[in-house]
Amino acid sequence: MNKFRGMRSAMIVGAGVAGLTAASALARTGWQVEIAEASPDRATAGWGLCLTGPSLRALDALGLADACLAEGYGMRVITHVDVDGIPSDQVELPRLIGARRPAMVGIARPQLHRILHAEAERCGVVVHHGLTVTSVDPQQDLVDVRLSDGTARRVAMLVGADGIRSSVRGLLGFETPVDYLGQMVWRALVPRPGWATGIHQFAGEVNTAGLVPISRSRAYVFLTENGVQPGMLPDSELAARLADLLTVFPGRVEELSPLTSASDSVVRRPVQTAFLTGAWNRGNCVVIGDAAHAPAPQMASGAALAIEDGLVLAEELERHSTVERGAEAFVARRAQRCRTLVQTSVRISGLEQAQRHSEAYRLVDTCHRQMAEPA
């Protein structure tokens, strides 16, 4: 099975979910890995995310699912609430890491990153903060990389894991548009109400909202604002504006509005997608995670794809005699699954904006079942 015979040194650009998990997966198969991360320190914005079954399955393969379950809040059910505030149905997601463990987990991003960083470092990965790549020169079987601190590396593989606005994509000559879907998504950290033991999703007359527990004491409220131009609001206004947007929802959302106005952690981001059509590699350079395929957040599965990428890349490199062949096999294995998720997330965004909530929920359910298939 182990066919790879070349030098095993990799430079990864970006210490996000994709970069850190790829680093650990590669280091476990004997690669020496350095990461260049642009942020000056490890601080990660404080809102939460949901790790669905495929994320947990991929994290379990790295031995990290239990740490995430311990730090986060395990769940199995999504409750859909209609525009009148009445629960309309409950969807039980597939349990991909065994019947005794939850189907999904809500977790604070800083906790997830702490777990991923600790594992990468345990595997011997060196993470440099405040560093980026300024030029990439693929040679035969090697890559010459220049870094923003003036140093250079000659490595066997360069991995661009630098997110939806990837600059590695540009350095490699790949062009892909980043599409704005006409929605802004809000997140606010709040105390967890006792009734929030799974995900709640609330249909609204204009927007949609929801609640995801991320620990016994905390949850995050999300709201997707439809039909707005992308733009910034002053941080000082975010909590009050989100609380306002929530007041029009009936039922249990009424409880969330005051919690949100007291929140000191509210963010508002554009809903954007990107998908790199064709190859994701040039020789021994490859892009992964959101840099190659960024879905809209409605499926809560971008992190799943990012984590799977790292595992599949490491597997395919073991199966092939050169980095280039391994990278090509990686792309061949990943492209369809990632394209389907990105396209489905765009359709869900459109259905939400057309207020076709039950169709959106059915599509989410179908896509979660497709994602349950092995990566």
Ligand X SMILES: Cc1cc2nc3c(=O)[nH]c(=O)nc-3n(C[C@H](O)[C@H](O)[C@H](O)COP(=O)(O)OP(=O)(O)OC[C@H]3O[C@@H](n4cnc5c(N)ncnc54)[C@H](O)[C@@H]3O)c2cc1C
Distance between CA atoms of residues 330 and 142, nearest Å: 18
* Closer CB to ligand X, 295 or 326, in the complex: 295
User: Minimal distance in Å, beta carbon 258 to ligand X?
Assistant: 23
User: Minimal distance in Å, beta carbon 117 to ligand X?
Assistant: 11
* Closer CB to ligand X, 1 or 232, in the complex: 232
- Give residues in contact with ligand X (CB under 6 A): 13-19, 36-39, 49-50, 55, 132, 161-163, 167, 185, 187, 269, 289-291, 297, 300-304, 306
* Closer CB to ligand X, 4 or 211, in the complex: 211
The backbone torsions φ and ψ at residue 114, rounded to the nearest 5 degrees and listed phi first, read: -60, -45
* Closer CB to ligand X, 14 or 72, in the complex: 14
User: Minimal distance in Å, beta carbon 17 to ligand X?
Assistant: 4
Q: Which two tokens stand for residue 280?
A: 């994701």
User: Minimal distance in Å, beta carbon 2 to ligand X?
Assistant: 27
User: Minimal distance in Å, beta carbon 243 to ligand X?
Assistant: 18
Q: Which two tokens stand for residue 156?
A: 């066997």
* Closer CB to ligand X, 284 or 345, in the complex: 345
User: Minimal distance in Å, beta carbon 217 to ligand X?
Assistant: 19
* Closer CB to ligand X, 4 or 287, in the complex: 287
Long-range contacts of 247-250 (CB under 8 A, 24+ apart): 248/204, 248/205, 248/206, 249/85, 249/202, 249/204, 249/209, 250/83, 250/84, 250/85
250: number of Cβ within 10 Å: 15
Work out whether strand 77-81 and strand 87-92 pair parallel, antiparallel, or are unpaired: antiparallel
User: Minimal distance in Å, beta carbon 175 to ligand X?
Assistant: 16
* Closer CB to ligand X, 16 or 198, in the complex: 16
* Closer CB to ligand X, 309 or 328, in the complex: 309
User: Minimal distance in Å, beta carbon 353 to ligand X?
Assistant: 17
User: Minimal distance in Å, beta carbon 15 to ligand X?
Assistant: 5
* Closer CB to ligand X, 4 or 181, in the complex: 181
